[in-house]
Amino acid sequence: MGNPATPEGLALRCAEVCRDPALRNLPYKIELNAWGKIEMSPASNRDARLQGGLALEIGRQLPHGEALTECPVLTDIGVRVPDVAWASAEFMRRHGETTPYPRAPEICVEILSPSNTDAEAEEKTRAYLQAGALEVWLVTEDGRIRFRGADGEAPRSRFGANVELPAPIEK
């Protein structure tokens, strides 16, 4: 069955995947599991709207850092890519544009699609928190946000952000 890749091996594999021209412009989010194998998740325009709204609001409301989209993060379950993240100015000074980040930014946001299981959401939440995130936001397709920290679920973000997301567009 083999052993999971080392953090160094995952970082090298991530760089290899980023350089692979065959993997550019795919309509999927690409992540690596603990063994360095590629996992892909389909993207939707609803996800794109939520991601854009989150990044704009987080960047506006938390000015002492940067809102990031799809930044690779080294975790104990592989290289995972939160849909949106917020990194403090100190985090950015320390890590810059290192790919993947060796630690998770302070806030990691996952936009959940119908194909995500509760177990997957829990696994990613735990992995981001273990990798250094202070808070994980889980966003449903209808725009509801659940906030999770090391102490469990919270009614609001500890960072003071109050994000309202766009409702789905009815056709």
Tens-binned pLDDT, residue by residue, of the chain (171 aa): 567 789 999 999 999 999 999 998 888 899 999 999 999 888 889 999 999 999 999 999 999 999 999 999 999 999 999 999 999 999 999 999 999 999 999 999 999 988 888 999 999 999 999 999 999 999 998 899 999 999 999 999 999 999 989 888 887
Q: What is the reported pLDDT for 55? A: 96
- Output DSSP code: residue 3: -
H or E element: which one contains 66? Answer: strand 65-69
What is the reported pTM? 0.93
Place domain 44-154 in its CATH homologous superfamily.
tt1808, chain A (3.90.1570.10)
Domain edges within the chain: 44-154
Instruction: Confirm if 14 and 72 have CB atoms less than 8 A apart.
Output: yes
CB 34 within 8 A of CB 97: no
Instruction: Single out the residue of 72, 70, 60, 69 nearest to residue 159, CA to CA.
Output: 60
